[in-house]
Amino acid sequence: MTSSTWSTSFKLATGAAAAVLLAGSSVLMGANPASAAQSDCKNNFPVRGNNNFCAWGDTNYGGTIYPVFVDMEVGNPCINTTGIFNDTFSSIYNGSNHRVLVYRDADCEGQSFMVHVGEAIPDLSTFNDVLMQGPWNDQISSVRPLS
């Protein structure tokens, strides 16, 4: 191997190693998904007081974001997730000041579980509530904010 060939090989190997290190550091230093969810939920809908219950169409807070303005609806017996919102939630974050019950069926009927203030659930397909009612991905049809 000539010195110029060795030098080129060394530069390529060093460059590849640096690329791997940089890629690894960006993964390690990336934003926490729950923090991203909180930020998206609060910053995308500030007109409602930054206190929303938000859901996303994909896991890990990806896809379309669906805000449910529970702070504006406390005392309302039920908020149905009708139309394009119905049965589409794959991850959720409760950025409101209220606990929220989510239900499988419309009109706040059927199986339900509590989402506490500040709670984030990145993947409803693997989430199983304390009653072991099974995965909740694409299953939520209504929500009820509690005081």
Q: Are residues 84 and 124 in the same domain?
A: yes
CA distance 50 to 5: 60
Residues 10 and 49 in one domain: no
Among the residue ranges 31-35, 42-46, 57-61, 117-121, the one predicted with the least confidence is 31-35
Token pair recorded at residue 80: 């149905």
CATH number at residue 67: 2.60.20.10
Whether residues 25 and 65 share a domain: the answer is no
More confident residue, 51 or 25: 51
Q: Do 53 and 1 belong to one domain?
A: no
The pLDDT assigned to 19 comes to 33
Residue-level length of the chain: 147
Pinpoint the alpha helices (H) of the chain.
Answer: 3-28, 33-43
Element (H, E) at 145: strand 142-145
Two structure tokens written together for 84: 């394009």
In 3D, which of 3, 147, 2, 1 has the Cα closest to residue 75? 147
Confidence of residue 59 (pLDDT cuts 50, 70, 90): very high
Task: Show the beta-strand stretches assigned E in 26-126.
Answer: 53-58, 62-68, 79-80, 91-94, 100-105, 109-115, 120-121
Residue with more model confidence, 46 or 126: 126
In a shared domain, residues 4 and 60: no
Res 79 pLDDT > 70:
yes
Asked whether residue 12 falls in the same domain as residue 72, the answer is no
- pLDDT tens for residues 17-42? 333 333 333 233 334 555 666 777 77
